[in-house]
Structure 1
Amino acid sequence: MTAPPPPVPRYGTGTLADVSPSVLAALGVPGAANVLGLPPAARVCVLLVDGLGWEQLRAHPDEAPFLTSLGGRAIDAGLPATTVTSIASLGTGLPPGGHGLLGLQVAVPEAGGLLNLLRWSDDAGVDPGEFQPVPTVYERAVADGVAVRYIGLWNLRRTPLSRATSRGAEYLPADALGELVGRAGTALREGDRAYVTVYHSDLDATGHRRGVGSAEWRFQLRFVDLLAERIASVLPPGALLCVTSDHGMVDPGERLDVDRTPALLDGVAMLGGDARCRYVYAEPGARDDVLAAWRAVVGDRAWVVPREEAVADGWFGPVAPGMAERIGDVVAVPHGGLAIVASEREPWLERMVGMHGSMIAAERLVPMLTVSGPT
């Protein structure tokens, strides 16, 4: 069996990196490209539903009648299709190669190890303003006089990840659905123009624990649909609600355990990324041997390429100076039902049922839906 050609994200033509610049353009912020063609609006709310893929939404219209009724289309999350990368693309308006938050676990050459960007703490000694140095879209909006609010989980309000991706916005912590709706309704009425982002994580968490094909996931989707409908109901006149996501999800049926496959460990210094988009960092001089070994073991179950090829082929969009080193010397992206796990070093990841990160449509494509407030 021959692997299909990789469906490389078409950055700049309708991806998550195009959402925030399009919002800025709709708000009248100078210099922003409205790639998505959003209508002019003085107040815009972006509801980011973690883990809501386009294919999953279309497959469950009964669980999401409100979302299904909205106009919109699929856009591309980019690679890897994972939360930290997608949130950074939304926050900067740049593809992954531009902002440098290139996966769940990436090499930090100056620190000599891996950095888990979801569990990133100040103790890691990596300054978020230096690690992600690009001005955010929120800073651009504030500079133009827009009232900017980011509504998200209490435990994320002061983390390095939040400071790297949403600096410039006033962070309003909220966990419960009622809090999210109430704070969104208030924030949308502040100032002459308002840009409000609402982040909700429960659908993704349910998929990881129970699987995207589970009854629990479908029930959780009903709550997401209600959340979107309630936020739409509190939109001020003329405001715009955009509903999108950071990635889709699949339930891989096959596990390849790197920690129990000696051929995959020879010459490997560090293992980064996650189960659906692996970064393999080779020891000095071992890159070619590592690439050959991974291709031999993984076979046609994943796209396995050297970093230079992935970068040249545009997998991450244009890669800014100093960012390429964060990508593995070898990149392995499963395209079927394979999860590349590491039971000893990542037991928390091995336990997951639903996963994401790859370039296949079920993980890469996310909705971009819109609805306007009363006229």
Structure 2
Amino acid sequence: MINKNFLSEPNILQLSKEVFNNVIRDESKVKNNENLLSSKIKEAETINFILADGLGYKNLMSLDTSLKGSTNKVINTTFPSSTNVALTTFAMMSHPVDHGIIGYYMYDRKNYGLINALNWNNENQNLLRDDHFKNQQSIWKKFKTFKTHVSNFQPENLVGSSLSNFLYEKSSTVPYKTLDNLIEMLSEASFLENRFNFIYYPNIDISGHIFGVYSTEWELEIKKFERAVERISLASNKKTTTIISADHGLCNIPLENRHNLSYENSIRIYGDQRSVYINGTESEVQKVFANIPGELFRRSDLKYLLKEPSNSYIETLYPDYCFVLEQNHIIYPKHLQAELKGYHGGLTEEELKIPIIEIHNF
């Protein structure tokens, strides 16, 4: 059963707007109806925001960690619950159907066909040069207009990627090699004057995909992150608030719940392996998914999760249908065969619910 209130529930888009308003110290700049952060943040001289990839609320609550005690709110991530969709929503302060990054894989009916919208190739990255994407103003460009000192800390191997170049301002992006390297830089004089630091941390997600959530390796990664957060929050003598949230949680998929799809080229199947976008006739779609556990959403339903297309350009990227799999099931379309332990992209609370953690050093 689809949640028709999904888009109006507290979510990562509203969190982005509230963070922005607090950084520039003007709650009227970006309209936002939620109060997701504590009033104490208004006293902070520096605000850190850590996007901990894969740190879902339900996953976190299974552990004995100090991070649980600092969790103030629980909100929704985007639909689909995918990294590139959530990161773009935070960076652009807009809905996925408005900014245009609507899935791990997308399908451009007009020019480029199937697109891996997380790891773009040399040809389909040209999609991001369309005016629809070029004319968007990210949170980083807005900070620049307000002459706000900010830095965006990214793992060294991600800097310069197509997605990174689209989301972030080159002048404020700082690569880091290790956690120790990151914390050292945050303590340097040149960064201590920053009003805002955004930190993307991918290791929890990587561990969850490879070893599975709740595994020994995953729990060890959480412990490493917990210690790093303590050091980050104390890196400056200035009054500092460190906010931690995520892009999604993960769920483990048993081998017996992995479904290979067989279908003709007249039907297009893409998106995420837990929430599958489909272009084709309804009879074809029903046939392909007849024995797959899950629910088929038509466009009349999909608007409650994605909204309706905002213009004719987005219409070329918008799917005809979406199939959301039952808990602990995934599909393998023709273009995906990687065997992982943990997955995300769907609508279960494990995947969808993310925490807002606040830590103050004052």
Question: TM-score, structure 2 length as denominator?
Answer: 0.89
Question: Aligned pair 1:23/2:16, yes or no?
Answer: no
**8 A contact 2:273–2:330 mirrored in 1:** yes
Q: Tell me how far apart the structure 1 counterparts of residues 225 and 244 of structure 2 sit (CA, whole Å).
A: 11
**8 A contact 2:2–2:301 mirrored in 1:** no
Q: Tell me how far apart the structure 2 counterparts of residues 211 and 105 of structure 1 sit (CA, whole Å).
A: 22
* 1:310 matched residue in structure 2: 302
* Aligned partner of 1:330 among 321, 337, 340: 321
Question: Aligned pair 1:43/2:29, yes or no?
Answer: no
Q: Tell me how far apart the structure 2 counterparts of residues 169 and 46 of structure 1 sit (CA, whole Å).
A: 18
Q: Tell me how far apart the structure 1 counterparts of residues 242 and 308 of structure 2 sit (CA, whole Å).
A: 30
Cα 1:352–1:37 shift into 2, 3 Å: closer
- 1:172-187 alignment, distance < 5 Å: 172-186=174-188
* 1:241 matched residue in structure 2: 242
Write out per-residue CA displacement over residues 283-320 of structure 1, whole angstroms, 9 at most, x where no aligned residue. Answer: xxxx221232245222xx22212234302xx2024642
Q: Which moved more, 1:46-55 or 1:18-27?
A: 18-27
Shift in Å at residue 226 of structure 1? 1.3
Question: Aligned pair 1:290/2:284, yes or no?
Answer: yes
The amino acid that maps onto 1:159 is S
Gaps of 5+ in 2: none
Q: Tell me how far apart the structure 1 counterparts of residues 93 and 328 of structure 2 sit (CA, whole Å).
A: 31
Write out per-residue CA displacement over residues 78-101 of structure 1, whole angstroms, 9 at most, x where no aligned residue. Answer: 200010001001101112112111
* 2:119 matched residue in structure 1: 119
Question: TM-score, structure 1 length as denominator?
Answer: 0.86
Cα 1:88–1:182 shift into 2, 3 Å: same
Q: Tell me how far apart the structure 2 counterparts of residues 160 and 139 of structure 1 sit (CA, whole Å).
A: 17
- 1:223-234 alignment, distance < 5 Å: 223-234=224-235
Q: Tell me how far apart the structure 2 counterparts of residues 9 and 222 of structure 1 sit (CA, whole Å).
A: 35
Shift in Å at residue 47 of structure 1? 0.4
* 2:356 matched residue in structure 1: 368
Cα 1:274–1:289 shift into 2, 3 Å: same
The amino acid that maps onto 1:347 is Q
* 1:159 matched residue in structure 2: 161
Q: Tell me how far apart the structure 1 counterparts of residues 91 and 4 of structure 2 sit (CA, whole Å).
A: 22
* 1:102 matched residue in structure 2: 102
Cα 1:93–1:9 shift into 2, 3 Å: farther
Shift in Å at residue 117 of structure 1? 1.4
Q: Which moved more, 1:238-247 or 1:13-22?
A: 13-22
Cα 1:162–1:12 shift into 2, 3 Å: farther
* 1:354 matched residue in structure 2: 342
**8 A contact 2:7–2:305 mirrored in 1:** no
Q: Tell me how far apart the structure 2 counterparts of residues 82 and 103 of structure 1 sit (CA, whole Å).
A: 7
Indicate the SS of the match to 1:14.
coil
Sequence identity (%)? 18
The amino acid that maps onto 1:15 is N
Cα 1:26–1:326 shift into 2, 3 Å: same
Gaps of 5+ in 1: none
Q: Count matched residues.
A: 349
Shift in Å at residue 169 of structure 1? 6.0
Question: Aligned pair 1:217/2:218, yes or no?
Answer: yes
Shift in Å at residue 327 of structure 1? 3.1
The amino acid that maps onto 1:52 is L
Q: Tell me how far apart the structure 1 counterparts of residues 47 and 11 of structure 2 sit (CA, whole Å).
A: 18
Q: Tell me how far apart the structure 1 counterparts of residues 5 and 202 of structure 2 sit (CA, whole Å).
A: 24
